[in-house]
Structure 1
Amino acid sequence: MQRMMRVSTTHALGGIMRTRTAVAAVLLLATVGTACNSSGEPEKIRVTITRTVTASPGQKAAPKVDGALKMGAKQALDDEENNFHSTVQALEYQQPYKGPQPQAPQDFQGGDTWATVSVKVCNIRGGDISVSQFPWSLAYADGTSIEVTGSSGGDMPKPEYPMDKTVKPGRCAAGLIAFPVPSGKRPERLVYETEAGDLAEWAIPKA
């Protein structure tokens, strides 16, 4: 004898209670002796409990690769306490940059060619936000990293992501960030980390 029970669960996410509906089944089998068969022996009753948690509508999880976001995925950055809501997105990595190469990086910059990432930050709602290239860096499998140079203008790849810009609610900032990289070595991840503690990482596809 089988009895089916469908259960809904409620989870707190960022201080907001969201009810999630059971869709797929996780089975928990319990044995109880509450009935007898024709021989007078206890009859085993199987109770099947269906319990599934799914993402709320519009809350589709971003795809990941080895724990990092897939290139092109968008990450939400929400500060409920201060009413700041924005998104950050890495769109493409090029090594070497496929457009006109700027003057070769200098030795102290740590690379012999220029690579670029195409990124976009949007201010969804709340107050003004300030964006720059400095939160972005490249991380390698051996633990080393490459930061932005701070160089802009001139023959740097265009359109450039701004070095320092105020973005009002409902607007975005997008463009290319150039990194001086060693041509024989490919980074593993693109990292976005702010002084406020916001952190997101994207897996860089293999060449």
Structure 2
Amino acid sequence: MRQIATTVVLLIAGLTVSCSSHSERPAVAKATASPSAADGSPGIAPSHTAKVYKLGDTLDVDNGDFEFTVQALSFKDSGISSLPGTLKAGEKWATVEVKVCNTGSEVFSVSPFPWSLAYEDGARVQATSVSGAELPAPEYPVDAKVRGDDCVRGNVPFEVPKSGRAERVLYAPEDLEEPVEWMLPKA
């Protein structure tokens, strides 16, 4: 037990050190035009009253190290076929088409794992690492490097309950203090 407690304390200390290396909060703001590296707008930092955006809205993000835009373009939770045995009973596939564009000059990596779906009852579903099978193309890459003035777009898959429907798409990379959210239209 003492070893577990020591490990937890060391992990928390490591997270505090790694997170405190940024002197400013990341800035997130709705883009006013199409993504452009020349747009030097500083944006606004998210707060506890952070806005929930509409699908398709482009957001400018500046975390101090990287500048990029991010979009949740579309959501689909019906009509996605599945190979037998890939889902648990009572589950179905859902996908969110997303796009991230590097508007700065520093290369960074993207993956589907900062993306999740939020339900009205507080449940959250993380992106799955399943790829291929019969999931809609193009698939969002698991680990892709994005150079300046380049974009990555694709579908992020989720294993979701057959009953109910997600109400929001969340994007929460480690460098953002709170998630960016897009509201999903009612079915």
CA change 1:59–1:73 in 2 (3 A) is: farther
**Partners of 2:95 and 2:182 in 1: CA distance:** 14
Name the structure where helix makes up a greater proportion of residues.
2
Q: CA RMSD for the aligned pairs?
A: 2.6
1:76 aligns with 2:60: yes
Corresponding residue of 1:106: 87
**Partners of 2:90 and 2:156 in 1: CA distance:** 15
TM-score, structure 2 as length reference: 0.68
Q: Could you tell me whether the CA contact under 8 Å between 2:140 and 2:152 is conserved in 1? A: yes
Alignment of 1:27-176 (within 5 A): 67-80=51-64, 82=65, 84-96=66-78, 98=79, 101-103=81-83, 105-107=86-88, 111-176=90-155
TM-score, structure 1 as length reference: 0.62
Name the structure where strand makes up a greater proportion of residues.
1
CA change 1:128–1:59 in 2 (3 A) is: closer
| Gapped regions of structure 2 (runs ≥ 5) | 1-24, 26-40, 45-49
Corresponding residue of 1:31: none
Task: Give the structure with higher Rg (CA).
Answer: 1
Deviation at 1:115, TM superposition (A): 1.1
| Gapped regions of structure 1 (runs ≥ 5) | 1-13, 15-57
Deviation at 1:157, TM superposition (A): 2.0
The higher-RCO structure (CA 8 Å, 6+ apart) is: 2
Corresponding residue of 1:26: none
Q: Could you tell me whether the CA contact under 8 Å between 1:133 and 1:177 is conserved in 2? A: yes
Q: Aligned residues: percent identity?
A: 40
List structure 1 segments (4+ residues) > 6 angstroms apart after TM superposition: 58-61
Q: Could you tell me whether the CA contact under 8 Å between 1:123 and 1:172 is conserved in 2? A: yes
| Alignment size in residue pairs | 142
Corresponding residue of 2:37: none
